[in-house]
């Protein structure tokens, strides 16, 4: 038995392998219990969360790959890798890059390998429905437990009455972190025979809400939202959110919370928390915290646009990597709940949404805006204009996947997020004190409103290039000189 320490993000994890049977037991040291899965989608999501932090693109460099953290022996058994380490071409996977970018292939590899492990267990059907160690055994539970500790360890747990005290014996029913096979069995309570794609392909939901008791009042995916002034306001690539009971001016100063673990930064877009799995953006905030690592649920700033005309709020955006987008469904004028937009794309481009063609051709490191409602920790109320436009009073099911269908109009091309977009901000939304001119009902009208109250930092946040900044400074200066001249007359 071998063990090695390695890292996924900021968390240290451990992997234990045992000959021919074990895919991986990659788990965070402080493992969080998963919700009990009663269908295929929940089952696959549970394993992705426990093994690869929900990210199909996970590659720690330790020989275990993807959302399910499968190593060479498991990939050989699943038919994706040859014994010499080359790739077989199954499902179009001819390289590690292909594998990390193909969520359907990873789902298939996990499930195929799971069937192999069922074979190692022998007459596994005899265990289905039994209660062992206080846990009901299911088909998914057998696959999950075998993925954690190998078929040998799973068999010991089944035949020992659920014993989890045999760590280090060679047929361990516990992994290197002390997680018992029975834990995985208990968390995965379905006997469905799952197929590739049944896991949703969308990684995991956010671990915390961005505000306390959120309410959505302006929905994601709307094109030129009615009731929003400023002419062509383009695609709404986030959700506008109030803390419940704190609408309008009452939202001022309400805390913002990191929706997931990650690195907090501040830029032209406002507050941003980034990990390998998510980028979440918290726009319309007057807070300017220092960059630091944050945990889900940690306060990161305050709602506080000074010029939001009585409607301070959170404009909340969620981005996920290409590997987490199984499909995108966007039918303009009919169904835009599950539009996906490549980061850096034009907000006012009516054909700027991702399509099946552009999604397939996008670079592996492309990030996409997706509907925050699909990723919220739990469903929340929808009110105000959003309720009127959508005809619903509750957010969409948090399936943690952008969509289940594909658009038929191949019009846009996904690409890597450009540095200029990060520096300049998306969609004319800005952070920091005094520069919250854009709000739920207004587009940007001028960055030189009341220059006396704007700091140089505010102006930098409201520009996308040095040339734009200089031009706007010049315009501001001219305006102020004119104003002072009239005042002296």
User: Is the per-residue pLDDT at 430 higher than 50?
Assistant: no
Same domain, 26 and 140: yes
Q: Which residue has the higher pLDDT, 422 or 231?
A: 231
Q: For residue 299, is it within any domain?
A: yes
- Give the Cα separation of 381 and 312 in Å (integer): 18
Top-confidence range, 182-186, 192-196, 341-345, 457-461: 182-186
Percent of the chain with pLDDT over 70: 70
Question: Does position 84 have pLDDT exceeding 80, yes or no?
Answer: yes
The larger pLDDT score, comparing residue 16 to residue 332, is at 332
| 218/264 same-domain check | yes
Name the least confident of 176-180, 293-297, 299-303, 484-488. Answer: 484-488
Q: Count Cα atoms within 13 angstroms, Cβ side, for 67.
A: 31
Closest of 70, 368, 45 to residue 200, by C-alpha: 45
b/e burial code for range 10-48 (CB count within 10 A of at least 16 → b): eeebbbbbbeebbbbbbbbeebeebeebeebbbbbbbbb
pLDDT at 303 over 70: yes
403 and 284 share one domain:
yes
- 20 and 126, same structural domain? yes
- Same domain for 157 and 31: yes
Instruction: Return d(Cα 223, Cα 185) in angstroms, integer.
Output: 45
- pLDDT score for 346: 79
Whether residue 221 is found in the same domain as residue 297? yes
Residue 432 has pLDDT above 70, yes or no: no
Give a yes or no: residue 123 inside a domain.
yes
Residue 36 has pLDDT above 50, yes or no: yes
Q: Who has greater pLDDT, 481 or 302? A: 302
Answer yes or no: do 129 and 222 share one domain. Answer: no
Q: Is residue 406 part of a domain?
A: yes
Range of the domain at 483: 451-487
The whole-number pLDDT of residue 145 equals 95
| pLDDT (0 to 100) of residue 378 | 80
Task: Report pTM.
Answer: 0.48
In a domain, 121, yes or no: yes
State mean pLDDT over 264-278.
Answer: 85
On the 0-12 / 13-18 / 19+ scale of CB atoms within 10 A, 465 is exposed
Q: Which pLDDT value is given to residue 436?
A: 30
CB neighbours (10 Å) of residue 2? 7
pLDDT surpasses 70 at 366: yes
> What average pLDDT does the segment 436-444 reach?
31
Q: How many residues does the chain have?
A: 489
Per-residue pLDDT of 283-296, as tens digits, reads 888 788 999 999 88
Residue 127's Cβ-side half-sphere holds a number of Cα atoms within 13 Å equal to 27
Same domain (yes/no): 247, 304: yes
What's the pLDDT at 237? 92
Helix (H) or strand (E) holding 153: helix 139-159
pLDDT of residue 131: 95
470 vs 45, residue with greater confidence: 45
182 with 241, same domain: the answer is no
Residues 262 and 132 in one domain: no
CATH number for the domain spanning 324: value is: 2.70.70.10
pLDDT surpasses 60 at 407: no
Residues 136 and 274 in one domain: no
Q: Taking the CA of residue 187 as centre, how many other CA atoms within 13 Å lie in the half-sphere pointing to its CB?
A: 24
pLDDT-based confidence at residue 298 (cuts at 50, 70, 90): very high
pLDDT value, residue 11:
29
Let me know if residue 358 belongs to a domain: yes
Quick one: 273 and 418 in the same domain? yes
Q: Given a cut of 60, is residue 70 above it in pLDDT?
A: yes
pLDDT beyond 90 at 198: no
What is the structure's pLDDT at 22? Answer: 36
Determine the Cα–Cα distance for residues 481 and 489; give it in Å rounded to an integer: 13
The total of structural domains in the chain comes to 3
**pLDDT per position as a tens digit, 305-336:** 655 555 688 999 999 888 777 667 788 878 88
In the predicted model, what is the mean pLDDT of the chain? 74
Distance separating alpha carbons of residues 415 and 345, to the nearest angstrom: 8
Confirm whether 431 is domain-assigned: no
How far is residue 382's CA from residue 372's CA, in Å, rounded to a whole number? 13
Per-residue model confidence as pLDDT tens digits over 103-161? 888 988 999 999 899 888 888 888 999 999 999 999 999 999 999 999 999 999 999 99
Question: Does position 451 have pLDDT exceeding 90, yes or no?
Answer: no
């Amino acid at each position: 038995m071998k063990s090695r320490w390695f890292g996924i993000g900021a968390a240290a994890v451990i992997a234990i392998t045992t000959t021919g049977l074990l895919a991986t037991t990659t788990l965070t040291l402080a493992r969080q219990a998963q919700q009990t899965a009663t269908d295929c989608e929940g089952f696959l999501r549970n394993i992705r969360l426990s093994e690869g932090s929900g990210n199909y693109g996970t590659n720690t460099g330790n020989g275990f790959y993807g959302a399910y953290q499968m190593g060479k022996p498991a990939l050989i058994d699943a038919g994706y890798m040859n014994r010499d380490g080359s790739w077989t071409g199954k499902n179009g996977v001819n390289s590690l890059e292909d594998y990390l970018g193909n969520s359907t292939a990873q789902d298939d590899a996990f499930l195929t390998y799971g069937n192999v492990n069922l074979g190692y267990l022998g007459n596994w059907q005899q265990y289905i429905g039994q209660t062992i160690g206080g846990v009901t055994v299911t088909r998914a539970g057998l696959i999950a437990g075998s993925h954690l500790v190998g078929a040998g360890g799973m068999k010991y747990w089944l035949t020992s009455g659920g014993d989890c005290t045999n760590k280090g014996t060679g047929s361990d029913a516990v992994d290197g972190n002390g997680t018992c096979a029975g834990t995985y069995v208990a968390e995965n309570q379905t006997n469905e025979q799952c197929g590739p794609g049944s896991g949703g392909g969308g990684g995991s939901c956010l671990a915390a809400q961005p505000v306390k008791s959120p309410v959505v009042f302006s929905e994601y995916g709307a094109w030129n939202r009615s009731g929003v002034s400023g002419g062509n306001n383009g695609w709404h690539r986030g959700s506008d959110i109030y803390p419940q009971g704190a609408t309008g001016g009452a939202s001022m100063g309400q805390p913002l919370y990191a929706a997931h673990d990650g690195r907090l930064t501040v830029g032209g877009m406002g507050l941003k928390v980034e990990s390998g799995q998510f980028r979440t953006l918290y726009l319309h905030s007057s807070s300017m915290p220092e960059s630091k690592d944050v945990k889900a649920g940690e306060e990161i700033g305050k709602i506080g646009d000074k010029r939001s005309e009585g409607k301070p709020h959170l404009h909340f955006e969620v981005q996920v990597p290409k590997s987490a987008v199984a499909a995108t469904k966007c039918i303009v004028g009919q169904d835009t709940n599950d539009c996906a937009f490549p980061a850096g794309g034009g907000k006012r481009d009516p054909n700027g949404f991702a399509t099946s063609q552009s999604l397939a051709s996008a670079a592996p490191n492309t990030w996409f805006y997706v509907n925050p409602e699909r990723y919220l920790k739990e469903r929340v109320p929808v009110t105000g204009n959003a309720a009127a436009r959508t005809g619903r009073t509750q957010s969409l099911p948090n399936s943690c996947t952008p969509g289940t269908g594909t658009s038929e109009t191949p019009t846009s091309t996904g690409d890597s997020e450009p540095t200029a977009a990060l520096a300049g901000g998306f969609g004319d939304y800005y952070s920091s004190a005094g520069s919250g001119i854009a709000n739920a009902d207004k587009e940007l009208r001028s960055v030189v409103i009341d220059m006396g109250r704007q700091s140089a930092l505010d102006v930098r946040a409201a520009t996308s290039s040095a040339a734009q900044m200089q031009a706007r400074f010049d315009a501001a200066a001219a305006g102020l000189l004119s104003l002072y001249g009239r005042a002296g007359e």
